[in-house]
């Protein structure tokens, strides 16, 4: 399955999860320090829905939840 929204074009993006250790200066410590940076993928929230296309045809496509909430598609 290609994780790409058919309407908005949302796709997975690469990023990182930063791990910090230590007590913050606000709490009386010497500050937090970065100890690890793990690579990860942020995936879009895709749903497989039946959609009526402008031509009148009904088709199942992968659509992001944001597009469904915004009413950019006509569900069947």
Q: Is the pTM of this model over 0.75?
A: no
Q: State the Cα–Cα distance between residues 75 and 52, nearest whole angstrom.
A: 6
Instruction: Point out which residues pair with 65 in neighbouring strands.
Output: none
Contact 75, 48 (CB under 8 A): no
Q: State the Cα–Cα distance between residues 10 and 63, nearest whole angstrom.
A: 9
Would you say the C-alpha torsion 55, 59, 62, 63 has a positive or negative sign? positive
Mean pLDDT of the chain: 95
Reported as a single tens digit per residue, the pLDDT across 7-32 is 999 999 999 999 999 999 999 999 99
Q: So where are the chain's domains?
A: 13-69
Pairing outcome for strands 58-64 and 33-42: unpaired
């Amino acid at each position: 399955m290609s994780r790409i929204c058919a309407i908005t074009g949302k796709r997975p993006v690469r990023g990182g999860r930063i791990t910090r250790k230590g007590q913050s200066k606000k709490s009386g410590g010497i500050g937090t320090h970065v100890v690890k940076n793990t690579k990860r993928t942020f995936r879009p929230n895709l749903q497989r829905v039946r959609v009526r296309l402008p031509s009148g045809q009904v088709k199942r496509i992968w659509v992001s939840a944001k597009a469904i909430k915004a009413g950019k598609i006509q569900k069947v």
